[in-house]
Amino acid sequence: MGNQVERLTHLSYAEVPTADPAGSDREEPGPRIGVSYIFSVDEDELEEPVPSEAGTGESEEGSYDARNEVECSVYYRDQCIYEKRGSFGKSEGGGGDLSTQPPETLLNKCKPGDLVEFVAKNQCPHWAVYVGDFQVVHLHKAEIKNDFLTDASQGRRGRLVNHLYKFKARPPESVVQCALQQVGLKGVQLIWRSSECFAAWCRCGRREFKAGGELRIGKQPYRLKIHLSDRASHTLEFQSLEDLIMERRRNDQLGKVALMQELTTHLETEEQHRTELDAQ
C-alpha cells in the first residue's frame, strides 16, 4: 500500500467529483475523493456530537486518538498559509504541538483573542474564539453564539490553534470585539460555512474565509498537501480557500487511517481503468 499511496501525488480540483448540495450521496457505497461542495454551514454546526461506541463505555474524550490526525499544509501559489504537523512534522520545525487537553485544563491557557479547536473521533473539528471570562463565541447550529468554553466543548478535548493559519492576526482586543459583534446572527445572515471559517475570519479579517469571498474563475491557486508519512504526500488543487477548508475538514472527520484507505482504493480503481483502456 505504501508504494501505491506514494504514487498519489497530485490531483486537480477539476478532476474530482463534488458532493451533492443536498447531501444525497451520503448513502452511496464506495469511496469519494474530492471536494465537499456543500452550500450550507458545515455539518458539525448542525448536528449533535456522535455518541460514544455502544458497549465500550468509552467517552468521546477517551476515544479520540491524536495518532489518527490528518497532517497537512496549505499553499496559496508558493506561499504556505496553513500548516498542521505533528509526529513527523516536528523534525522539520513546522506546525507546532497537536496535543489536546480537557476543556477545564485548557481554560488555564486561554487568553482573549485566542482560537480554540475542539476535536473528537469521527467529527469535524469545532472552532471558537475565546473572549474572556471563561466564554467563547462560535458558530454552532447555524447561529453565532456566546457560550462558556466548557459548554461549547460538549465534552471534547481542545487545544489552542493560533499558529495554524500564517496570516497576520488582528490585535487580541479587535478579535474579541469582532467576535462579539456577530453574536446572534443566524440562518441566511451567516457568511461563513464552518466554525473554523468564522473563527479564522475573526482573528485574521480576510475575505477568503467568507462564503463566496473569492471569485472562481477557473484558476486553482490553492493546494492542499496531505502528509501521509515523512516521505509520502497527496496534493489537491482548489479555486478558493473556502472549498479547500471544506475538503480538509472532511479529511479530519475521516481520520488518517480511513483517508489512506480511500486514497488507495481510488488509486486501484484508476489503475484498473487505465489497464482496461490499454487492453482495448
Give exposure, 179-216, as e/b (b: 16+ Cβ within 10 Å).
bbebeebeeeebbbbbbbbbbbbbbbeeebbbeebbee
Identify any residues that bridge with 118 across adjacent strands, giving them in sequence order: 126, 158
| Whole-Å CA distances, 57 to 68, 79, 102, 279 | 21, 45, 18, 53
Distance between CA atoms of residues 111 and 124, nearest Å: 24
Could you tell me the pTM of the whole model?
0.77
Please give the grid coordinates belonging to residue 277: 483502456
Q: How far is CA 47 from CA 44, 85, 230, in A?
A: 6, 28, 35
Q: SS3 for 247?
A: helix
Cβ partners under 8 Å of residue 234, min gap 6: 5, 8, 9, 11, 225, 226, 228, 263
Domain range annotation of the chain: 2-48+58-279
Q: What is the DSSP string of 87-144?
A: TTTGGGT-S-----B-HHHHTTT--TT-EEEEE-TTS--EEEEEEETTEEEEE-SSBE
Strand, helix or coil at 230? Answer: coil
**Mean pLDDT per 10-residue section of the chain, whose length is 280 residues:** 45 41 34 39 49 39 78 96 73 60 96 97 96 98 98 96 97 98 97 98 97 90 94 93 97 94 81 68
Provide the b/e sequence for 14-27 (b: ≥16 CB within 10 Å).
eebebbeeeeeeee
55: helix, strand or coil: coil
Residue 53's alpha-carbon distances to 87, 131, 154, 228, in angstroms, are 27, 34, 16, 27
2-48+58-279 maps to CATH 3.30.1330.50: no
The total number of residues shown for the chain amounts to: 280
Q: Do strands 144-148 and 157-160 pair parallel, antiparallel, or not at all (unpaired)?
A: unpaired
Determine the pLDDT at residue 276.
Answer: 65
Instruction: Please report the sign of the dihedral spanned by the C-alpha atoms of residue 258, residue 261, residue 266, residue 269.
Output: negative
Single-letter amino acid code for the residue at 237: E
Amino acid 48: pLDDT: 47
